[in-house]
Structure 1
């Protein structure tokens, strides 16, 4: 029997990258999944990829919407309950390094950038978790938050608001884990490093810029000791591990790093991105 048979999962930000790979993996392993994202065309592609794995269409609930809005949050919860009757797994994956409207970095970023960053990377997680909590308590389920290695003790000055939002998400993970384990619900986080997704393009960077950065990181041991770029499937497998109670039941409130060794060296923060791109 597939390991997630009779389980129901909501995966936010599942129209691309890590969220898409997670939705495909959980669905292949028997889960009924609610997928969601702002881009209807990309979300439809996720649906097609899931169905191509032999998953019955009735096992997929697709919701187009912006997870930072109350309307989309309510539709995610309500439609999942209406179609599947319960929630066992919540994967809070939607997130991004929201670009400053003027292209500014660090201290020069507008406070509006801060507000939008926290609305997506933290506030939406808090809101959706609150709305799903009672259902997940009923099933004694799992919550997995997707954070980032930028949340750690080292600095990330070019995008300090993004790093701050992910550090706050890690703290939220620990605090909700202590509260919800009293009800049999586990909360954990995964902290990816460099993973090849549409992340950079979502921040407004042209595709060739992302490719140049990925090539540079993969060829420099100070940035990526493994010299192997992470793929969405690598993080999806870790999320699935944390969603699998029999395999990971003693892991509670942890932030698990998957970064090819980047944070062991911390050299990536010592390079000037503008210099890399100008060569």
Structure 2
């Protein structure tokens, strides 16, 4: 029997109660990994655990931690419970993140600076702190870190969601910085930049099903927005994360940020209306 890709590996996947994190946890577990799943919503996290079991993952290969990733106690529990359950850490997927809007409806630089702090605490500081806590175990296993950023990180500007986009740009740079610092210790660090993906991202922003449907249609029907004509699927992002976490497949990729967006970042606004240029 051929060995599974992540057999005898232990992975922590943050933000795994939904979307990309859930799909990543399922893929890793199906391919042999023991996984720690975590999220703030206990019901959705239990849905993830049940999904794994329904897909043949032994319950003893699942460690579930409920809590807010920005809290030090939760970060410590993630590490300690993983070590207590599985004895080591091979892979850290820093996936938890969100666009935290201004409840007053302000946009860009006119948002309250508390919104800046909220976005950075979740999207950047929690990644830094959890990475610090996991370092000694990843060094011992010569492990892998995969950060999940966003095409919002640039180089295009995002005037409305200013604080979210700069927090994701910080993750891209953090990836490069950590890659240089950690590779002498045997740890690889890489990053994925998803485009628009069918997850709970937009409902978390307060959009209802009708609004999400209209938004999806506007994105997928316009080649200047998503040239492939399709929203990304969490499973597609999970496959890229798994590739970067698999040293047998990607050993010479170090400190890179890989875009997976259906071609969205290839389109320049000044050329968007000229897609038929040159055709008779």
For normalisation by structure 2, the TM-score amounts to 0.94
After TM superposition, the structure 1 stretch with the greater mean CA deviation from structure 2, 97-106 or 24-33, is 97-106
Give the whole-Å Cα distance in 1 for the aligned partners of 2:120 and 2:247: 30
Give the whole-Å Cα distance in 1 for the aligned partners of 2:131 and 2:268: 32
Q: Deviations over 1:72-96 (max 9, x none)?
A: 1000000000000000000000000
Matches within 5 A, 1:31-180: 31-180=33-182
Corresponding position of 2:222? 220
Corresponding position of 2:255? 253
Give the whole-Å Cα distance in 1 for the aligned partners of 2:195 and 2:55: 28
Corresponding position of 1:276? none
Give the whole-Å Cα distance in 1 for the aligned partners of 2:48 and 2:139: 28
Give the whole-Å Cα distance in 1 for the aligned partners of 2:256 and 2:218: 31
Runs of 5+ consecutive residues of structure 2 not aligned to the other structure: 273-280
Instruction: Kindly state the Cα deviation for residue 206 of structure 1 after the two structures are TM-superposed.
Output: 2.1
Instruction: Kindly state the Cα deviation for residue 202 of structure 1 after the two structures are TM-superposed.
Output: 1.3
Corresponding position of 2:276? none
Corresponding position of 1:187? 189
Give the whole-Å Cα distance in 2 for the aligned partners of 1:267 and 1:132: 41
8 Å CA contact 1:96–1:203 kept in 2: the answer is no
Corresponding position of 1:244? 246
Give the whole-Å Cα distance in 2 for the aligned partners of 1:2 and 1:267: 44
Q: Deviations over 1:223-277 (max 9, x none)?
A: 0001011000010000000011000000000000000000000449x9xxxxxxx
Which of these residues, 198, 202, 205, is aligned with residue 204 of structure 2? 202
8 Å CA contact 1:98–1:116 kept in 2: the answer is yes
Which of these residues, 10, 13, 18, is aligned with residue 11 of structure 1? 13
SS at match of 1:187: strand
Instruction: Kindly state the Cα deviation for residue 208 of structure 1 after the two structures are TM-superposed.
Output: 2.2
Deviation beyond 3 Å, 4+ runs, structure 1:
none
Instruction: Kindly state the Cα deviation for residue 205 of structure 1 after the two structures are TM-superposed.
Output: 2.2
Give the whole-Å Cα distance in 2 for the aligned partners of 1:201 and 1:99: 12
Q: Which has the larger radius of gyration?
A: 2
SS at match of 2:160: helix
SS at match of 1:158: coil
